[in-house]
Amino acid sequence: MVVVVVVSVLVDVIAPGDPFASSGPSLRPPTADHLMGTDNFGRDIARAVAHGVRTSMTIVCWVVVMSLVIGLAVGMISGYRGGWVDDLLSRTTEVFQAIPLFFLALLVVGFFGAGIDHLILLLGFTSWELLARVVRAQTLSLRQLEFMEAARSSGASSARIIVRHVLPNVLPAAVVVMALVGSRVILIEAALSFIGLGDPNQVSLGYLIYSAQPFLRVAWWMSVFPGLAIVVAVLAINLTGELIADVLGPRRTISGARTRIGGGAKGLVQAEPQLAPGTLASPDPERPR
Amino acid sequence: MLPVSSAVRFVLRRLVRAVPAVGTILVLTFVLIQLAPGDAVDALAGDGGDQATNDYLRSYLQLDRPIWEQFASYVGNLLRGDLGVSFVQGGTPVAELIGERVTATLLLVVTALVLSSLAGVLLGALAARWPYGRFDAALSTVSLVAYAIPGFWLAQLLVLVFAIRTGWLPVQGMTDARAEYTGLAAAADVARHLVLPAAVLSISELALVSRVTRSGLLTELSRDYVRTARAKGATERRSILGHALPNAMLPVVTIIGTRLGLLLTYAVVTETVFGWPGLGALLLSASQSRDRPVLLGLVLLVSVSVVLANLVTDLVYGWIDPRARQH
């Protein structure tokens, strides 16, 4: 993760120059000059990959911030308030969950043109549904605990309770979920630009792999390195999410999610929808009471 | 009021729940069309059209009607299965374009669904047999990585290794264009072309299915009835396969609906790598030529099938597990 962040922040220092500019003979295998080889226009792949990583991370950051705000608000309010507010918000969440994100993104790009800003807005407004459900379940189970009772009986307002007591307790779980969302965003963006719907003015990892397609027979490096970059970025985000969750809250936040993010939490993403609402935050024997 | 059995009520309740999802998809797509810069006339006539023609086209396409009337006719057309005509491909109905392609995609998706379900359950069961053992650890590491690999890249890697380097499998297409096969030979030909794309689709799914199977099995294995089975002297294999697995299958069934949506998404992208003549190729050309009706038709088709798949899953689940009908 450190590498990914450093690359995206310092891209102009370590890989200076225009990634679209030619910098040597075309279709050369990796050498000391061009660590990842060059493409059909003689562009340096290492430089393109560095810029691509930055594009991905920019999108991820914005989307994560947007869905964090929406998801936390929806989840905490619906879990804390209950009643018709909860019903309404839960139904809305379900609908968002039923819409295949990739196809929606495709439609938006097809109608409004390709652009990072469109992509960020779209993914930001549609990626919060998982977070909302997890936060809601957590909030529901928090409500039962004694310290909440204590806060309520000492006259704290709902808003104060939500911000001071609920928020810190749902944050670890939220971080795990956001890591998942972040990696999903990278993959969606890569897939979109792979089929040629990325922002034409930004280097994107998916686009690099797309342009490698006709040259698979002669230049494997054009495909292999950008792909590796995606894998590293996704793994980095997942593992960091796990790490932050461990630091923030040393208890098990979501049953199973902490053990192994890739399988565990992905299983959670997919398996959860049909289960009863309480399943996510099932009472955990290890949680201090 | 007529007495209605609980089963019928369950089915009805689930049907009603699917309606808002489909409704939202319709509204959302309609809003997108309205918001998009330029309308159908701009797309059809281009920049050079004169005002009179444009006005005629607008009234012909009923774009001058109030917005809610347009929405009503939009929904009405969709309900009759009319998806409009392609802007680019000489006015061919979108439904026809999709119909030509859908079989190839279904073949691919269903193969991957079956393959990954069987293998995933098997792997998950093996992992649960010796939890936290070497196999379990290996499996979870592999699924962690498998989740991070974009399907289209995996597809290219497989093509590099199994088609280009070794020449074992065909690089592209669904049939061998140079040979005329009939009967079994034709099926074998398609099967050979199917191996790589189906493998790509299955691998990302395998991780998911095996995780769900594993955790489901571990929960079931700690229950009393499994202890009873073991106490009666049932072998470990029999306790797992005969007693625990059927119950552990419930969550595996549950995720089929979600997986279908994912698979369709991955299939579209995977198809483009392999030149598989399915919906993916259509989607690709439509999105590159900004052929809006085709794009819209495909998105609607996929979204609605995901909702339907979820509905069917719910119903099947309720049928297998009567407890679920209570909620």
Supply the pLDDT for residue A272: 35
Which residues on B lie below 8 Å from A193 (Cβ)? none
CA distances from B73 to B78, B80, B82, B302, B309 (A): 8, 10, 11, 21, 26
Q: Which residues contact B107 (CB under 8 A, 6 or more apart)?
A: B190, B194
Q: How far apart are the first and last CA of chain B?
A: 22
Q: Which residues contact A264 (CB under 8 A, 6 or more apart)?
A: A256, A257, A258, B140, B211, B215
The answer to whether position B229 is within a domain reads yes
The answer to whether position B310 is within a domain reads no
CA distances from B205 to A132, B8, B114, B201, B211 (A): 25, 33, 10, 7, 10
Q: Which structure tokens are listed for A33? A: 């000059």
DSSP A156-219: --HHHHIIIIIHHHHHHHHHHHHHHHHHHHHHHHHHHHHTT-S-TTS--HHHHHHHHGGGTTT-
Nearest-neighbour CA in chain A from B80: distance (Å): 22
Give the chain B residue nearest A189 (alpha carbons). Answer: B150
Supply the pLDDT for residue A268: 38
Distance between CA atoms of residues B148 and A213, nearest Å: 20
Q: Is A125 on the interface with B (CB under 8 A)?
A: no
Domain span(s) for CATH 1.10.3720.10 in chain A: 2-249
> What is the average pLDDT across B139-162?
84
Q: Is A53 on the interface with B (CB under 8 A)?
A: no
Supply the pLDDT for residue A279: 34
pTM (predicted TM-score): 0.74
| Position A264 pLDDT exceeds 50 | no
Question: What ipTM goes with this model?
Answer: 0.72
Distance between CA atoms of residues A260 and A252, nearest Å: 12
B 205-244 near A (Cβ less than 8 A): 207-208, 210-212, 215
Domain total in chain B: 1
Put simply, the answer to whether B150 touches A187 (Cβ < 8 Å) is: yes
**Which of A91, A224, A261 comes nearest B144 by C-beta?**
A261
Domain ranges, residue B238: 96-280
Which residues on B lie below 8 Å from A274 (Cβ)? 254-255, 313-314, 317
> What is the average pLDDT across A260-280?
35
- A79: nearest Cα among A190, A165, A208: A165
Put simply, the answer to whether B286 touches A110 (Cβ < 8 Å) is: yes
Which residues on B lie below 8 Å from A113 (Cβ)? 37
The answer to whether position B145 is within a domain reads yes
**Which of B29, B152, B292 comes nearest A191 by C-beta?**
B152
The answer to whether position B44 is within a domain reads no
Place of tokens 């701009």: B42
Q: Which residues contact A62 (CB under 8 A, 6 or more apart)?
A: A120, A124
Q: Which residue has the higher pLDDT, B296 or B175?
A: B296
pLDDT digits (tens, 9 = 90+) for B229-284: 888 888 888 888 888 888 888 778 777 767 777 788 788 888 888 888 888 878 87
| Position B56 pLDDT exceeds 80 | no
Nearest-neighbour CA in chain B from A69: distance (Å): 22
Q: Is A213 on the interface with B (CB under 8 A)?
A: yes
Put simply, the answer to whether B306 touches A98 (Cβ < 8 Å) is: yes
B 155-184 near A (Cβ less than 8 A): 156-157, 159-160, 164
pLDDT, mean over chain A: 72
Q: Which of A88, A95, A180 should we substitute to test contact with B (largest number of B Cβ atoms within 10 Å)?
A: A95
Are B252 and B209 in contact, with CB atoms under 8 Å apart? yes
- A238: nearest Cα among A169, A182, A157, A195: A182
Q: Is B150 on the interface with A (CB under 8 A)?
A: yes
Which residues on A lie below 8 Å from B215 (Cβ)? 256, 264, 267
> What is the average pLDDT across A36-40?
66
Q: Which structure tokens are listed for A104? A: 């929606």
Q: Is B131 on the interface with A (CB under 8 A)?
A: no
| Largest separation between any pair of C-alpha atoms in chain A | 74
Q: Is B149 on the interface with A (CB under 8 A)?
A: yes
pLDDT digits (tens, 9 = 90+) for A150-208: 887 887 777 788 887 788 888 878 888 888 888 888 888 888 888 777 777 777 888 88
Q: Which residue has the higher pLDDT, B281 or A271?
A: B281
Q: Is B98 on the interface with A (CB under 8 A)?
A: no
Distance between CA atoms of residues A77 and A94, nearest Å: 16
Confidence class of residue A256 from pLDDT cuts 50, 70 and 90? very low
Q: Is A277 on the interface with B (CB under 8 A)?
A: no
Q: Which residues contact B237 (CB under 8 A, 6 or more apart)?
A: none
Supply the pLDDT for residue A66: 92
User: What is the percent of chain A with per-residue pLDDT over 70, rounded to a whole number?
Assistant: 70
Supply the pLDDT for residue B264: 81
Put simply, the answer to whether A196 touches B287 (Cβ < 8 Å) is: yes
Put simply, the answer to whether A263 touches B210 (Cβ < 8 Å) is: yes
| Position B198 pLDDT exceeds 60 | yes
Nearest-neighbour CA in chain A from B71: distance (Å): 18
Supply the pLDDT for residue A1: 60
> What is the average pLDDT across B39-58?
64
Put simply, the answer to whether B145 touches A262 (Cβ < 8 Å) is: yes
Q: What is the CA radius of gyration of chain A?
A: 22
Put simply, the answer to whether B273 touches A260 (Cβ < 8 Å) is: no
Q: How far apart are the first and last CA of chain A?
A: 34
What CATH number did the domain enclosing B212 receive? 1.10.3720.10
User: What is the percent of chain A with per-residue pLDDT over 90, rounded to a whole number?
Assistant: 1
The answer to whether position B122 is within a domain reads yes
Looking at the domain that runs over A2-249, which CATH code has it been given?
1.10.3720.10
